[in-house]
């Protein structure tokens, strides 16, 4: 298992001693091989990859870039690509690993570029990324100067993709744990910046999610929230009767004004709406690294302004707020 000693130290310094005391047991349960049919295979596959030390490690560009093709030793480019493909589907990226271009389903740098000029500088901050996927944005946060980044995501495949990338990158103050936010104890109040991107609409209780996010932040810390929204005024919310864009687990799509009201009710202050962008099939699409259906298959073929269910097509907004007293 990965060495988490530096993470424990950082959390203790931030006052999260109670969580640090329970984390080893949480991690032991999360990595219990009896609970995951393919976890042992994934772990063995990653352990068997040769370590490639490279001076090329770029986290400040659109592509998270590690190494060059010429630096591969003990494994061919095709072998490495096959290993990476065994962790299909790759949804967040892009990455370039020793000359292999992982063209992920999401052009996740588009989202990062929409928000990076609006957030508080990340230099030296302790950052939490909730629902981080394989950690693409965690690497970008580290590249922006964060002191330490912790991502949480309950899908073990995403965690394994992150661990493979980190093995290629080498030691770094960035971690992804196989948890949901509900595994973070109430009242941690440890993080300087908390990101929740693409999570709120999957929660049965959006208010509870906002309260959970606030309880992760230190006083005066910053929340960066990105979620699906609809057009409309205060109080307007779309609650799909069934699926939304073929997704079963979409519960609440508020208008921007409604979500601002929710944030105020949950104790956030200095709330700003910094971006509203319709999701296009250029940003989210099927690729050789994610060959399942994607956005183009979820829209009405005769009217791309609607989903296949006849609901408003995906539109995403980014909000920034501070934790009040």
Residues spanned by the domain of 21: 5-323
Name which of 245, 198, 225 is nearest 91 in CA terms.
198
Residue matched to tokens 């580290």: 142
As a whole number of angstroms, the distance between CA 197 and CA 218 comes to 19
As a whole number of angstroms, the distance between CA 75 and CA 264 comes to 54
As a whole number of angstroms, the distance between CA 130 and CA 221 comes to 15
Name which of 210, 152, 219, 211 is nearest 191 in CA terms.
219
- Using DSSP's 3-state secondary structure scheme, residue 256 falls into helix
As a whole number of angstroms, the distance between CA 309 and CA 320 comes to 31
| Residue-level pLDDT at 9 | 97
Characterize 130-140 residue by residue with b for buried, 16 or more Cβ atoms within 10 angstroms of its Cβ, and e for exposed.
bbbbbbbbbbb
CATH number reported for the structural domain that contains residue 228 in this entry: 3.40.50.150
| Residue-level pLDDT at 211 | 97
| Residue-level pLDDT at 75 | 84
Alpha helices, H only, the chain: 5-13, 17-30, 39-47, 77-85, 108-115, 136-143, 156-169, 206-216, 256-265, 295-298
pTM, whole model, 2 decimals? 0.97
From first to last of its 325 residues, the chain has per-residue pLDDT tens of 789 999 999 999 999 999 999 999 999 999 999 888 899 999 999 999 998 888 899 999 999 999 999 998 888 889 999 999 999 999 999 999 999 999 999 999 999 999 999 999 999 999 999 999 999 999 999 999 999 999 999 999 999 999 999 999 999 999 999 999 999 999 999 999 999 999 999 999 999 999 999 999 999 999 999 999 999 999 999 999 999 999 999 999 999 999 999 999 999 999 999 999 999 999 999 999 999 999 999 999 999 999 999 999 999 999 999 998 7
192 strand-pairing partners = none
Residue matched to tokens 């061919």: 76
Q: How many folded domains does the chain comprise?
A: 1
Q: Where are the beta strands (DSSP E) in the chain?
A: 57-58, 64-66, 92-93, 95-97, 100-102, 106-107, 126-130, 148-152, 174-177, 191-197, 217-228, 237-238, 253-254, 268-278, 299-300, 303-307, 315-323
Could you tell me the two tokens for 290?
A: 């994610």
CA geometry: angle 165, 166, 169, nearest 5 deg: 90
């Amino acid at each position: 298992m990965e060495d988490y000693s530096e993470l424990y130290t950082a959390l203790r310094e931030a006052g999260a001693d109670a969580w640090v005391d329970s984390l080893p047991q949480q991690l032991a349960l999360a990595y219990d091989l009896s609970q995951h049919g393919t976890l042992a295979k994934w772990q063995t596959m990653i352990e068997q990859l040769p370590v490639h030390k490279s001076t090329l490690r770029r986290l400040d560009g659109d592509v998270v870039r590690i190494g060059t093709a010429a630096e591969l030793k003990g494994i061919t480019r095709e072998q490495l690509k096959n290993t990476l493909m065994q962790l299909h589907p790759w949804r967040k990226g892009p990455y370039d690993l020793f000359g292999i271009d992982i063209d992920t389903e999401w052009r996740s740098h588009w989202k990062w570029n929409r928000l990076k000029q609006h957030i508080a500088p990340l230099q030296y901050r302790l950052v939490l990324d909730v629902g981080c996927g394989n950690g693409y944005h965690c690497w970008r946060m580290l590249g922006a100067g964060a002191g330490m980044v912790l991502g949480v995501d309950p899908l073990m495949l995403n965690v394994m993709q992150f661990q493979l990338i980190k093995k290629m990158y080498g030691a770094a103050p960035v971690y992804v744990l196989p948890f949901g936010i509900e595994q973070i104890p109430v009242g941690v109040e440890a993080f300087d910046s908390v990101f929740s991107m693409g999570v709120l609409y999957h929660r049965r209780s959006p208010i509870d999610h906002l309260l959970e996010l606030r309880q992760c932040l230190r006083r005066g810390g910053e929340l960066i929230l990105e979620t699906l929204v609809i057009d409309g005024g205060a109080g307007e919310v779309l609650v799909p009767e069934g699926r939304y864009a073929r997704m079963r687990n979409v519960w609440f799509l508020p208008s921007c004004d409604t979500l601002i009201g929710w944030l105020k009710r949950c104790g956030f202050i200095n709330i700003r709406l910094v971006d509203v962008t319709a999701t296009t099939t250029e940003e989210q699409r099927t690729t050789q690294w994610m060959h399942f259906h994607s956005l183009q298959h979820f829209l009405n073929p005769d009217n791309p302004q609607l989903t296949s269910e006849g609901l408003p097509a995906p539109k995403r907004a980014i909000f920034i707020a501070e934790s009040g007293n």
